[in-house]
Structure 1
Amino acid sequence: MDQLDTPHVPVELTPWDRVQLARHPQRPHSLDYIFALCEDFVELHGDRRFGDDAAIVGGMASFGNRTVMVIGHQKGNDTRENMKRNFGMPHPEGYRKAQRLMRHAEKFGIPVLCFVDTPAADPNKESEERGQGNAIAESIQLMTVLKTPIVVTVIGEGGSGGALALSVGDRILMQENSIYSVASPEATASILWRDAARAPDAARALKLTAQDLYALEIIDEIIPEVPGGAHTDRLATMATVGKRIAAHLEDVCALDLEILMRQRYDKYRRIGHYEEQQSFAGRGFL
């Protein structure tokens, strides 16, 4: 048995280990969380332009004592469902469906919960012809100015712009063994070293773990998982995620809308800040 599948053996996990756990096929997906944490879920379909994308699911639901709009990437639980869901890689119509649901939530003052779990947006020629880059950019732009609270939870893979299109929130939470990165380790290794086998080295360099991103002040909280990963105790995992989402949702919903929007703006302006220190070594000063 793989040590990562053993629930009660403490293991010092490397970034590459966490990549494997984030991709585990038995890890709970967005619909698992929605059905476990919400009641009266009514799924809404279609972007009203092209079609319905099964790689993104969304709809109205009751979460605690609130009505919410839940939106998430959806992977399959087997090969057949993964084909239907395009392995969780959305097409442009998926992002436009998400935008439609977000605007509906804004119109009625309903908070938005997003679950992020995608290796990337669909990269095929047909998706590019239908405006994939534009759809992702429009989603990011919309979420920056959406006048309703948004809580985002990364539950598995947070890959590239495909993840970012559902990730601009007032709070960003990550499960302990989830990942969030500009590119996959394999793609990064192929670009940097022309060798996909060096993906473990790329995973370390990318700073893609929840621990790295919390230290960089990009995310707001790391949600702990049971030993061995979320798939070893799905019910406990989903209960813990629900409690943390509820706490953050309560906080952001208590804010005046003007304050909420200003804090969201400030949050993303702070990301990536750095300081330059001029060195005088070699110039005769030291």
Structure 2
Amino acid sequence: MKTYLEFEKPLAEIEGKAEELRAMARANEKMDVEKEAAALDKKAATMLRDLYKDLSPWRKTQVARHPDRPHCKDYIDALFTEFTPLAGDRNFADDHAVMGGLARLNDRPVMVIGHEKGNDTNSRIERNFGMARPEGYRKAIRLMDMADRFGLPVVTLVDTPGAYPGKGAEERGQSEAIARSTEKCLTIGVPLVSVIIGEGGSGGAVAFATADRVAMLEHSVYSVISPEGCASILWKDAEKMREAAEALRLTAQDLRQLGVIDRIITEPLGGAQRDPKATIQSVGKALEEMVAGLDGKSREKLVRDRRAKYLQMGAKGLAA
């Protein structure tokens, strides 16, 4: 069963009616409803194009959070072969919100790391809804160190509302772990590429996405804080999340214009959840191109260029 977002309710009614007609025809072979169902399909296709033609930042946020979007595990299962998961931070525990390990991308050895939200109630609880604790970031640091030691490119898949803000996480050094992970991204001497596949929330996302090349899916979002959190701080009212989403410039289109990301990966009409297979293929192609584009660079040049990329970010706006 499809999951529809709030702004997709009119579309849900039309597609639901078409499905009802076809279900009636399956129950009664003498009924011929294909003409009526086809007309509803055509109307639904037009409505889908209109709905997604010019999505507001808040609606893009809703699409980025859609539960049926492909998650990190889906990408790893489809794009990477010989995936060998590596667990634990060698200090406290294994954080199931972060998955990673050795794999092959189009037969090229890489280290892949990503946030995993889960796809049902049990797995979402196990994965803590993609909100990593300090041990998750320390696991990522360990895997990036390993990749650096063996000269393997690092691929990160970002999909998190933000790092987990719980008491235990703070006691174990959440902010320090995030800072160390961001530092590690800046200092490893191997290619590092990242894709925002859903939500890129706050420092919890930056800790994985401070990369040589950063791409975003067309309807993903990436910002320093969630729209609800921003609205709570600025207006003391989380219901002003629509205004906050506008102000945050969190869409892929805004961030490409600002120079925060390097490329936008097109999604199928209606979002990644409408055609996960096509979306995953597009991400795979982008990953291969980004990794190949960094071939031949020395470790010194990789580190120097990466550092310069982030030091220069926003300099044009400040100068103006």
Q: Which residue of 1 aligns with 2:161?
A: 119
Paired-residue identity, %? 50
Choose which of 233, 248, 262 in structure 1 pairs with 2:275.
233
SS at match of 1:155: strand
Q: Quote how far apart the aligned CAs of 1:79 are.
A: 1.2
Q: Quote how far apart the aligned CAs of 1:261 are.
A: 1.9
1:1-286 counterparts in 2 under 5 A? 4=8, 8=45, 9-10=48-49, 11=52, 12-273=54-315, 274-276=317-319
SS at match of 1:96: helix
SS at match of 1:165: helix
> For the residues of structure 2 that align with 1:260 and 1:131, how far apart are their CA atoms?
29
Change (3 A) 1:34 1:266: same
Q: Deviations over 1:54-95 (max 9, x none)?
A: 000000001113100000000010111111000100000000
> For the residues of structure 2 that align with 1:165 and 1:265, how far apart are their CA atoms?
14
The answer to whether the Cα contact below 8 Å between 2:81 and 2:107 also exists between their aligned partners in 1 is no
Q: Deviations over 1:227-260 (max 9, x none)?
A: 1000100000000110011011101123232222
Q: Which structure: greater helix fraction? A: 2
Q: Deviations over 1:91-126 (max 9, x none)?
A: 000000000000000000000000000001000010
Change (3 A) 1:276 1:250: closer
Q: Which residue of 2 aligns with 1:282?
A: none
Q: Quote how far apart the aligned CAs of 1:275 are.
A: 4.3
After TM superposition, the structure 1 stretch with the greater mean CA deviation from structure 2, 248-257 or 212-221, is 248-257
TM-score of the superposed pair, with normalisation by structure 1: 0.94
- Larger RCO, structures 1/2 (Cα 8 Å, 6+ apart): 1
SS at match of 1:116: strand
SS at match of 2:82: strand
- Superposition RMSD in Å: 1.4
Q: Deviations over 1:11-45 (max 9, x none)?
A: 32000110000000011111110111010101000
- Structure 2, unpaired ranges of 5+: 12-43
SS at match of 1:238: helix
TM-score of the superposed pair, with normalisation by structure 2: 0.84
SS at match of 1:156: strand
Q: Quote how far apart the aligned CAs of 1:263 are.
A: 1.4
Q: Larger radius of gyration, structure 1 or 2?
A: 2
Q: Quote how far apart the aligned CAs of 1:276 are.
A: 4.6
> For the residues of structure 2 that align with 1:227 and 1:168, how far apart are their CA atoms?
29
Q: Deviations over 1:128-180 (max 9, x none)?
A: 00000110000011110111100010000000011111111100000000000
The answer to whether the Cα contact below 8 Å between 1:4 and 1:228 also exists between their aligned partners in 2 is no
- Structure 1, unpaired ranges of 5+: 278-286
